[in-house]
Amino acid sequence: MSQQRTLTVTSLLTILLFTLHWADEIARGIEPGTMAAAGGFGILFVWLYATLAIGAKRSGLVLQLVGAILGGGVPILHMQHAGWVGGRIAVNSPGALFWVWTLVAMGACGMLSAALAVRALWAFKARKGTNE
């Protein structure tokens, strides 16, 4: 599998995990399901557009890198304060395992996507340097 295809797959997987996690938080009442959260749709649109429409361009790679850093950082944000479970998510609540699993998987996929995006940007820079 080519490096660009691998980056596309890991970016899409991170996006999928992000949406599942976000939907779970809305269903639990942790995040508001109101227009105040509509900014998340804009973020998802830009991230998906960067991955699917302009992924091979420098701007697409930079946006995928930003999305990967944000996706990889979500578990870190949840580790602040009370931690993953025991705070707003009860240890024995139904679906707690799924909630934590999406955090772990999103963090891992986000970090992998970030590494692949950096590598693709480095290769993009090298290609442009040899053409000039």
The 10s digit of each residue's pLDDT in 73-101 is 988 888 876 666 666 676 777 888 888 89
* Structural domain boundaries enclosing 55: 3-131
Q: What is the count of structural domains for the chain?
A: 1
Q: List, as own/partner pairs, every contact residues 87-95 make where C-beta atoms lie below 8 angstroms and the sequence separation is at least 24, other chains included.
A: 88/28, 88/30, 89/28, 89/30, 95/24, 95/28
d(CA 129, CA 118): 16
Residue 74: how many CB atoms within 10 A of its CB? 19
Residues in the chain: 132
Total-model pTM: 0.87
Which helix (H) or strand (E) is 45 found in, with range? Answer: helix 39-52
The 10s digit of each residue's pLDDT in 3-41 is 899 999 999 999 999 999 999 888 888 888 888 888 889
Query: For position 132, what pLDDT does the model report?
Result: 47
